[in-house]
Amino acid sequence: MTDLTVENLEIWASGQGVNFVSDEAEAGYRARAGRIADVIQLKVPDRVPVVPSFGMFPYLDNGLTCEEALFDYDKADRAAMKTLRDFEPDMFIGSGYAFPGPMFEALGYRQLRWPGREIPAHYIYQFVEREYVSADELYHGYLDDPSDFMLRVYLPRTCQALGPLARMRPFAESFGYYLTMAGSYAYFGRPEVQAALQALMKAGEESLKWVGTIVKQAQTIMSLGFPTFWGASSAAPYDLVGDWLRGTTGVMMDMFEHPEELLAVMDRLVPLAVRLATEHGGRGGNPIVGFMLHKGADGFMSPDQFRTFYWPQLKAVMLGLIERGLVPMLLFEGEYTSRLETIADIPKGRCIYWFEKVDWARAKAVLGDRVCLRGGVPPSLLFSGRPDQVRDRVRELIDTVGHGGGYIVDCGIWFDEARRENVRAMVDFSKSYGVYD
């Protein structure tokens, strides 16, 4: 039987279909992607890969504000490409982390606050959580017709410009009867509804422009010899409910007051979370699927709650992706030391676990023969530490976590503010000290 993961990683690491600028770039790409493919499969590569998780760093480091990076795609692109040349990491995200501010402004998007608008220009955008959907609505409405719910309930609440869509007639009723259509489509003639549709069109134009920049940039990054960061993203079902619909407090309340209904909704979200990634991660492309995990950390729920409400549904999504030859890469935000034994229950050599805070020696002992580990350099050290301290930390990590392969040096979280010499020390020292015999 063909092992789809191995096959996908081989195709990806071969650089098939990439127009390299030189033989050297092609060799560089194969070495870098091969290194990542090796550590995912728990093989010992030529050296420990180093993949700094650049947040807003490329822009701040190159004299831009975050506001400029988010509202001018070309400036963000130029700064990101400069960072690529400066640091030559083993994978690179480009400017994909600088989301298109104008698109969200067109929608009147309520869930983010923007630098240069509501917060200082040199700060990263911030997510502002709210209980957008009540328990009753989620558990007695969403499951009936999730698409209609998103269109007529959720988007009108989260996007100010889409408010009028709330009063649209459900499309489920558009059977094509001319009698029905003749009257109900009048709604789209109303000025406020047309304004909402115009806002969607403007958002669409901005999204297209941004995607165009990102796609072209990804081709350039690869042509220069660098693998891209990931091919798609997905999420844990509990986070989908907590982050977007019910809020942290709401979903926590639901564990007590609506446990069965919460579980039923999350079961329904499993195939959707798989589709989120599979519709974008294709063969030949980067098989890595990123997950940003927000609400399952130590303390955020008990071990029992984690084993009931968080891990089984997340694992189901991961298995759905693994089955298709994709590689889940989970960023565990917060501390996860108490969860190590639970999250070890996953097929061997198929995932990357990227920790913000964990007992690294224990993580290696418990997970070292299951998954590739990533992270460990504190963002605070990159911000205010010294290069020798950064080198000491990287040495310690490579000695503790890197032995026998299965480890990628990185910061534990996306970093924005950092001293260039510290990032330089993290990258350069990993490349010299991390060479395997």
Partner 1 sequence: MSDELVVLLSELKKTEALEVVARRLERGDDPMRLLDDAREAMRIVGRRFSEGTYFIPELVYSGKILEAVAEIVKPRLTRGPTTAPIGRFVLGTVAGDLHDIGKNLVAFMMDVNGFEVHDLGVDVPPRAFVDKIAEVKPRIVGLSGFLTSVYQAMKDTVDAIAEAGLRDQVRIMIGGGVMDDEVRRYCGADAYGPDAMAAVSLARQWIEEPI
Name the residue nearer to partner 1 (CB basis): 131 or 137. 131
User: 270 vs 275, 304, 315, 319, 343, CA distance in Å?
Assistant: 9, 20, 9, 10, 17
| Residue 253 C-beta: closest distance to partner 1, Å | 6
Distance CA 173, CA 326 (A): 38
CB of 227 to partner 1, least distance (A): 25
Q: What angle do CA 237, 37, 230 make, to 5 degrees?
A: 45
Is-contact 156 165, C-beta < 8 A? yes
Say whether residue 340 binds partner 1 (CB under 8 A). Answer: no
Binding mask 50-69 for partner 1 (x = CB under 8 A): -----xx---------x---
Regarding 418 and contact with partner 1 (CB under 8 A), the answer is yes
- Contact pick of 301, 367, 423, 427 for partner 1 (by CB under 8 A): 301
Mark out the alpha helices in 41-100 (DSSP H runs). 57-61, 66-71, 73-87
Q: Which stretch binds partner 1 (CB under 8 A): 6-14, 148-156, 262-270, 378-386?
A: 378-386
Mark the segment that binds partner 1 (CB under 8 A) among 75-83, 167-175, 380-388, 427-435.
380-388
Which of 151, 197, 253, 316 lies at the binding interface for partner 1 (CB under 8 A)? 253
φ and ψ at residue 322, rounded to 5 degrees: -60, -40
- Does residue 120 bind partner 1 (CB under 8 A)? yes
Q: If DSSP codes are grouped into helix, strand and coil, which group holds residue 325?
A: coil
Cβ-based nearer residue to partner 1, 415 or 429: 415
Q: Number of residues interacting with partner 1: please give it, by CB under 8 A.
A: 38
**C-alpha distance from residue 433 to each of 47, 61, 373, 386, 392 (Å):** 8, 25, 18, 18, 11
* Distance between CA atoms of residues 402 and 337, nearest Å: 18
Q: Does 206 bind partner 1 (CB under 8 A)?
A: no
Q: Does 420 bind partner 1 (CB under 8 A)?
A: no
Least Å from the CB of residue 303 to partner 1: 9
Reading the block at residue 301, the tokens are 């729920």
Is 378 one of the binding residues for partner 1 (CB under 8 A)? yes
Report the helix count and the strand count for the chain, using DSSP H and E.
21, 8
Q: Does 334 bind partner 1 (CB under 8 A)?
A: yes
Only segment of 70-78, 84-92, 202-210, 382-390 that touches partner 1 (CB under 8 A): 382-390
Provide the residue type at 369 as one letter: D
Please give the Cα distance from 349 to 347 (Å, whole number): 7
Per CB under 8 A, does 134 bind partner 1?
no
- What is the distance between the alpha carbons of residues 427 and 51, in angstroms, rounded to a whole number? 8
Interacting residue ranges for partner 1, rule: CB under 8 A: 55-56, 66, 113, 119-120, 122-124, 126, 128, 248-249, 252-253, 255-257, 299-302, 305, 333-335, 378-381, 383-385, 413, 415-418
